[in-house]
Amino acid sequence: MTGDEAAVRALFDRWAQAVRDENLEGIRADHDPDMVMFDVPLPFVSRGIEAYMATWQTFFQWQAKPVMFEFRDVTITAGSDVAFATAIGRCGDTSSGQRVELDFRLTVGFRKQDGKWFIVHEHHSIPATDANVST
């Protein structure tokens, strides 16, 4: 693993831990102010850090406690100033009144600015034919 891949992986892990801890400042910390997210629930597109952060209120409302936000098959690819990560994630939905574990796909785009990596894009998705697919 290169130094940039390790730095991106560390950022990814900090972000995921911040979500599990419901730490909004930690979630925000390494995101570019002009970031874009494509998400599963509405709104499907969030542009800018404030719109992105607003989506976490909804997420935490329907999340089972403690918050499940786990990843497997994480792959990091890093160039000198751009990188991306792909992973399969799992979270726990309680909006139906019962805990339902939901598998989702995640792609995260990163850009290095002044020697520091930032998240500039997140894309969360679930298969169109099945809301909970095990691989």
Average pLDDT of 130-135?
50
Dist CA 67 CA 116 (whole Å): 28
Hey, where are the domains in the chain?
3-125
Token pair, residue 27, equals 């979630």
What pLDDT is attached to residue 117?
98
More confident residue, 130 or 98: 98
pLDDT band at 133 (very low <50, low <70, confident <90, very high): very low
What pLDDT is attached to residue 94?
66
What pLDDT is attached to residue 63?
83
Per-residue pLDDT tens for 66-125? 888 999 999 999 999 999 999 999 988 766 677 778 899 999 999 999 999 999 999 999
Per-residue pLDDT tens for 14-61? 999 999 999 999 999 999 999 999 988 788 899 999 999 999 988 898
CATH for 3-125? 3.10.450.50
Contacting residues for 89 by C-beta, under 8 A, at least 6 apart: 69, 70, 71, 103, 104, 105, 106, 124
Q: Tell me: pLDDT of 134 over 80.
A: no
**107 closest CA partner among 135, 80, 73:** 73
**109 sits in which H/E element:** strand 100-113
Contacting residues for 116 by C-beta, under 8 A, at least 6 apart: none
What pLDDT is attached to residue 96?
66
What pLDDT is attached to residue 73?
97
